[in-house]
Structure 1
Amino acid sequence: MRKLLKFTPIIMLLIGLTSCRSVKVASDYDREANFDNYKTFAFFKPGIDKAEINDIDKRRILRAIEAELMAKGFTKSETPDMLVSIFTKSNQRVDIYNNAWGYGAWGWGGYGGWGWRSHGNTVSTTTEGVLYIDLIDTKKKELIWQGSGTGNLETRNIDKKEARIKEFVSQMLLQFPPEKK
């Protein structure tokens, strides 16, 4: 039991770090769409051009989407069944940690004297990005599936950034095509 208590802070730190790095994904789709009819895709340039992300990261995202769709058996085509578009958002995330209580307590004496003491808060800000992937029926010009992935993308290391983008796209497209009910 003592060993478990000894390693509890380390385990909690690892859980915290891995939860910060994870991608939170969600998807929605048109229940009337027959996803068996979609075999080919192309990128919807007007939609992609509006995405508020630099061109280098945009190309990384598109390459990752293309690789994932092709791995699922879809083919890129000039006359596609569905169009792929993306857009992005960013949110400023502020975390406030109030874990600096101590050095005294109610009562007489002790370090810090009389009363309860607090020595401040720790504030952390990060930018969370949200990537949306839209799949549009080419003939009907209707959205048939949308995936979203939320997580932290900031990194100065290009290899890590590229791997993070691939992780985003891969996690999102795990939910495509939706399972038949």
Structure 2
Amino acid sequence: MKSILQFIFICFLISIASCSSVRVVKTEPADNFALTNYRTFAFADIESTGDIPQSGFYRSQVDALKTAIEQQMNRRGLRRVDAQPDLMLNIGIAVDEKTQTRQTDIRSDPPNYIGQRRYTWRTREVEVGKYRQGTIDIHLVDPKRNEMVWRGIVEGIIPKKPEKLQKQIDESMEKLFARL
């Protein structure tokens, strides 16, 4: 009985983990990269592309992203400084509006009648909805060597509610920096 409950619990955890709205696309460490060789970091300019509104809300979310990254770096023993950091963080943000479609099916879209015994039916893409997909690309750069030492990319569908967006930012940075 106990082993059955443990199996059900493990299946439950796996199903919850697979329902995450963000995924780590790629992480690339440089040869011989060790985070323990660095003690301080600073943020470089943030670059944005795509369908990003330049509003106060956007800037507040960039600040939330920086805060989440700073928390992850602090957990790994690095602290933020303004002058002469050991690591520079370059952040790239891309937001694209996507269209969700489905293909018509003969069961759901019956053929059109065009006269005696001339039924026609063609598949077509039907728009179901629109959503925004965001990608965050983070580069850790060693300023002394002017060389990128680590790169991580995370992407996900951006929720419409601000409180869910903040939770997603924290979750995505947790997942990304777990691979650092």
Tell me the TM-score normalized by structure 1: 0.68
Tell me which residue corresponds to 1:169. Answer: 173
> Which whole-Å CA distance do the structure 2 matches of 1:119 and 1:133 have between them?
41
Whether contact under 8 Å (1:104, 1:116) holds in the other structure is no
Structure 1 residue 129 displacement after superposition? 0.9
Structure 1 residue 29 displacement after superposition? 2.0
Are residue 102 (structure 1) and residue 107 (structure 2) matched? yes
Whether contact under 8 Å (1:100, 1:121) holds in the other structure is no
Tell me which residue corresponds to 1:142. Answer: 147
Structure 1, gaps ≥5 residues long: 1-13, 106-112, 177-181
Tell me which residue corresponds to 1:65. Answer: 69
Return the structure number with greater relative CO, CA threshold 8 A, min gap 6.
Answer: 2
> In percent, how many aligned pairs have the same letter?
20
> Which whole-Å CA distance do the structure 2 matches of 1:51 and 1:119 have between them?
37
Whether contact under 8 Å (2:88, 2:142) holds in the other structure is yes
> Which whole-Å CA distance do the structure 1 matches of 2:41 and 2:74 have between them?
9
Tell me which residue corresponds to 1:51. Answer: 48
> Which whole-Å CA distance do the structure 1 matches of 2:132 and 2:173 have between them?
18
Task: Report which of the two has the higher share of strand.
Answer: 2
Whether contact under 8 Å (2:139, 2:152) holds in the other structure is yes
One-letter code of the match for 2:165?
K
Structure 1 residue 94 displacement after superposition? 3.3
SS of the residue corresponding to residue 150 of structure 1 reads strand
SS of the residue corresponding to residue 166 of structure 2 reads helix
Tell me which residue corresponds to 1:29. Answer: 29
Tell me the TM-score normalized by structure 2: 0.68
Residues 126 and 75 of structure 1, relative CA distance in 2, 3 Å threshold: same
Deviations 1:93-145 (A, max 9, x none): 3333226432799xxxxxxx996867965423322111111111021121111
